Amino acid sequence: MRVRRSLRQAASRTSPLVAPTAQDAFTARMIEGLGFKAVALGGSTMLAARYALPDLGLAALAEMVETARDIINATELPCIMDGDDGYGDVKSVVRMVRIYDELGVGAVVLEDQIREVKQSGNNNARRVAPHDEIIRKLRAAVETRSDKDLMVITRCDAYAIEGLEGSLKRCDAYLKAGADGVFIPGVSTVEELERVGKTFRGSYQIVDMLENRPTWLKPSELAAMGFSQVVYPNFVMLRTMLATNDALMQLQRFATDDSPPVLLSDFEGARALFREIVREEEWSSLEQRFR
């Protein structure tokens, strides 16, 4: 069993806690190496990186666990795990929490979006479950965890359906039911973000930042509003995709018409960073140690 890294402790030391999203183990190791204090594991990026699939409810718990395990084992940072809707009823939620508890995650995020009509990433949800159904799942999750350092956070996807008022009411009910924190994705104005932060100030609050929204704010501004953690769901993944696409296009042109690719200005430096991330020296030293 992996020793749990406490998300609560990390958040108490850093305000707000900026948690980049890792689509794979290599990225998680880079996040840790650059000094971030937590890693977010999102279904959309993990499914894209491992299976080239959209996040439309296609993956079962087993597939998510298989993907997450590699990422979790690659870092010493607390990991915030996307728990989707729990993959079924309360029995499935209990099973999911037991598994992620054993893996040592710092938090599980449980959403109220209906799985059968799930929308990818931060697109507007089509339907959300009745709040009493989510409360039952929350109670099951909270009672199942082995200790309070495994946080249970509720993601409320009702914003596009019930508006801000409905989302606030839901989150209030979720907190009263035992949730350790709340997350309302997709809030579209700064004024509404301020209201969310003020309403739940003192509770653990996650806020998402996407570059195509007018709500793109500095982490310090979000902390002042009352938010505990900031996530950037596609920030790393989209840049990774574009950089890979550019490199492949250069190779394709080189292969077809001899157009030279742009060579790395510091090839040896890049190789050294690669070896550092995969901890090549640590593994190589075992050969000497056990001679």
Q: What's the pLDDT band for 113 if we cut at 50, 70, 90?
A: confident
DSSP type of residue 233? T
φ and ψ at residue 176, rounded to 5 degrees? -65, -25
d(CA 202, CA 226): 7
pLDDT surpassing 60 at residue 122: no
Is the separation of the CB atoms in 153 and 182 below 8 Å?
Answer: yes
pTM over 0.85: yes
Phi, psi for residue 56 in degrees, rounded to 5 = -120, 30
Percent of all residues in the chain with a pLDDT value above 90, rounded to a whole number = 85
pLDDT in tens, 244-287: 999 999 999 999 998 999 999 999 999 999 999 999 999 999 98
How remote is the C-alpha of 157 from its chain's centroid? 15
Catalogue all structural domains in the chain, each as residue range(s) with its CATH number: 7-235 (3.20.20.60), 241-289 (no CATH)
Q: What pLDDT does 251 receive?
A: 96
Residue that has been written with the tokens 């084992």 in this structure: 73
| Residue 19 confidence (pLDDT) | 97
| Structure confidence at residue 25 (pLDDT) | 97
Q: Average of pLDDT values for 32-52?
A: 96
Taking alpha carbons only, the member of 8, 39, 289, 286 closest to residue 145 is 8
208-229 per-position pLDDT tens digit: 999 988 899 999 999 999 999 9
Tokens for 67?
């993907």
